[in-house]
Amino acid sequence: MDCGTDPAGLRVVGMSSDRIIQVGRDILSKNNRIAAENRARFVADDLVVYNLLSSPGAGKTSLLVRALSELKRKIPVGVIEGDQQTSNDAERIRATGVPAVQINTGKGCHLDAAMVGQAYRLLPPLNGGILFIENVGNLVCPAAFDLGEACKIVVFSTTEGEDKPLKYPDIFAASSLMLINKIDLAPMVDFDLNRTIEFVTRVSPNIEVLPVSARTGEGFGALYGWLQKQPAHRRHLVEDTTG
């Protein structure tokens, strides 16, 4: 099939005059480029950014509401809301006194880097703090769209079935932390923590797992501890300059 390449990058196939142009570009390159710009901006602003992913209703907003009330007393915090499950997610955040920008994703099933870059400009300065991005409730394509975050956190809940990590491996493989929310319901739904951990480490060997309850506050001490020890933005800075 390969009949030689001319200097312009055109290849003549067989006897026809069909022209083949070699492209070789990553389909996500545009998003990745904007994500890298976001990341550089976040690092310059000394901000750690987390991209929160889950199925609809796993409890992302509830977790944020509880955690923000505590975190805001110590450091600047802000939220970019992409979840439209309930249209008042940003309102629920603002009720805690934390600034939030709602992104209107329309029928979109994920956030992309350009949306986040624009929304970020609408937030007050958060230097030295944490920005949470609540992604659209969807376990499929958000895995492919880098937003410029330091890392991804996947929220899984005890009512979803232990084998979810096997059904949507990409999201779990891309995440640094898995929060197992609604742990207060574990006895009612016969939730098997060990089985869940076994499945998730199969698809994501290095993921950390924390059981929590946005309802009772169980596990939040461990979550604050995890957030505190993240040198995530610096790690990314190093990756960016070497790769």
Partner 1 sequence: MALCEGIMEIVEEEARRRSFSKVRTVCVEIGALSHVDAEAMKFCFPVVAVRTIADGAVLEIVELPGVAWCMACSRSVEIAQRYAPCPCCGSYKLQVTAGEKMRLKELEID
| Residues near Zn ion (CB under 5 A) | 109-110, 141
143 interacts with, out of partner 1, ligand GDP, Mg ion, none, CB within 5 to 8 A per kind: partner 1
Tell me the C-alpha distance between 2 and 197, whole Å. 49
Q: Rounded to whole angstroms, what are the CA distances from 229 to 65, 154, 232, 233?
A: 21, 18, 9, 11
Q: Is 56 in the site for ligand GDP (CB under 6 A)?
A: yes
DSSP 5: B
* Contacts with 213 (C-beta within 8 Å, 6 or more apart), sequence order: 181, 182, 183, 184, 219
- Shortest Cβ distance from residue 183 to ligand GDP (Å)? 7
Q: Is 211 in the site for ligand GDP (CB under 6 A)?
A: no
Judge contact between 128 and 152, C-beta under 8 A: no
Q: Looking at beta carbons only, is 60 or 182 nearer to Zn ion? A: 60
Tell me the C-alpha distance between 153 and 133, whole Å. 10
Q: Which sign does the torsion angle of CA 140, 77, 62, 81 carry?
A: negative
Cβ-count burial of 209 within 10 angstroms (0-12 exposed, 13-18 middle, 19+ buried)?
middle
Residue for token pair 């904007």: 34
The dihedrals phi and psi of 77, each to the nearest 5 degrees, come to -135, 150
Q: Is 137 in the site for ligand GDP (CB under 6 A)?
A: yes
> Residues in contact with ligand GDP, total (CB under 6 A)?
18
- Shortest Cβ distance from residue 212 to Zn ion (Å)? 26
21 interacts with, out of ligand GDP, Mg ion, partner 1, none, CB within 5 to 8 A per kind: partner 1
Q: Is 37 in the site for ligand GDP (CB under 6 A)?
A: no
169 interacts with, out of partner 1, ligand GDP, Zn ion, none, CB within 5 to 8 A per kind: partner 1
173 interacts with, out of Zn ion, partner 1, ligand GDP, none, CB within 5 to 8 A per kind: partner 1
Q: Is 89 in the site for Mg ion (CB under 5 A)?
A: yes
227 interacts with, out of partner 1, Mg ion, Zn ion, none, CB within 5 to 8 A per kind: none
> Residues in contact with Mg ion, total (CB under 5 A)?
4
Q: Rounded to whole angstroms, what are the CA distances from 24 to 10, 20, 236?
A: 13, 12, 26
Q: Is 184 in the site for ligand GDP (CB under 6 A)?
A: yes
HSE-up (13 A, CA, CB side) for residue 235: 10
Q: Looking at beta carbons only, is 137 or 148 nearer to ligand GDP? A: 137
What residues line the site for ligand GDP (CB under 6 A)?
Answer: 54, 56-62, 83, 85, 137, 181-182, 184-185, 213-215
What residues line the site for Mg ion (CB under 5 A)?
Answer: 60-61, 83, 89
